């Protein structure tokens, strides 16, 4: 173990961040095993649960960072939607109609998969599910929820 006086604490990188030229920020957790490939003018980012293709010209930068998603918060707001929860209800709003939302248990099993409605909203109850850690994934974000 090395220790040196005057060293700054380092933040642990746990996600790949893709920023577009339009200002959109997408996070992909390293635990989802992201794989980035490039072919012609298309960059493909594939994870365990999704695949996203972007035109190379629309990507401003790709880098490693600490995730902005934390289990202690009760809602996460991004440019492409809000995920919040109150008790057993999970509320998604401000998303693109037709976008997919998936709830996975901590061991990676899909609990449910739904499509965001025409109004950009989705409400789902976790009342029948046991306490534990769950991850909600949409096309551009993942949020960790601790159900007690």
User: What confidence tens digit (pLDDT) does each residue in 52-106 have?
Assistant: 788 899 899 988 877 654 433 344 545 578 887 776 777 888 888 888 888 888 8
More confident call, 128 vs 50: 128
Its pTM stands at 0.46
Percent of the chain surpassing pLDDT 90: 1
More confident call, 13 vs 11: 13
Distance CA 40, CA 57 (A): 11
Distance CA 142, CA 136 (A): 6
For the chain, state the CA radius of gyration: 17
**Does the pLDDT at position 132 exceed 70?**
yes
pLDDT of residue 54: 84
What are the helix and strand counts (H, E) for the chain? 0, 14
Could you tell me which residues come within 8 angstroms of residue 7 by beta carbon, excluding any fewer than 6 positions away?
A: none
Could you tell me which residues come within 8 angstroms of residue 28 by beta carbon, excluding any fewer than 6 positions away?
A: 15, 16, 17, 18, 34, 45, 47, 142
């Amino acid at each position: 173990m090395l220790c040196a006086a005057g060293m700054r604490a380092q933040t642990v990188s746990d996600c790949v961040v893709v920023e577009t030229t339009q200002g959109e920020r997408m996070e992909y957790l390293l635990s989802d095993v992201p794989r980035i490939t490039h072919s012609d003018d298309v960059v493909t980012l594939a994870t365990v649960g999704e695949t996203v293709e972007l035109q190379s010209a629309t990507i401003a930068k790709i880098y490693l960072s600490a995730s902005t998603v934390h289990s202690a918060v009760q809602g996460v707001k991004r440019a492409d939607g809000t995920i919040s929860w109150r008790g057993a209800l999970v509320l998604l709003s401000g998303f693109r109609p037709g976008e997919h939302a998936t709830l996975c248990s901590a061991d990676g099993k899909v609990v449910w998969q739904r499509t965001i409605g025409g109004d950009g909203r989705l409400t789902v109850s976790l009342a029948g599910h046991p306490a534990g850690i769950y991850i909600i994934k949409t096309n551009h974000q993942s949020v960790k929820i601790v159900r007690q």
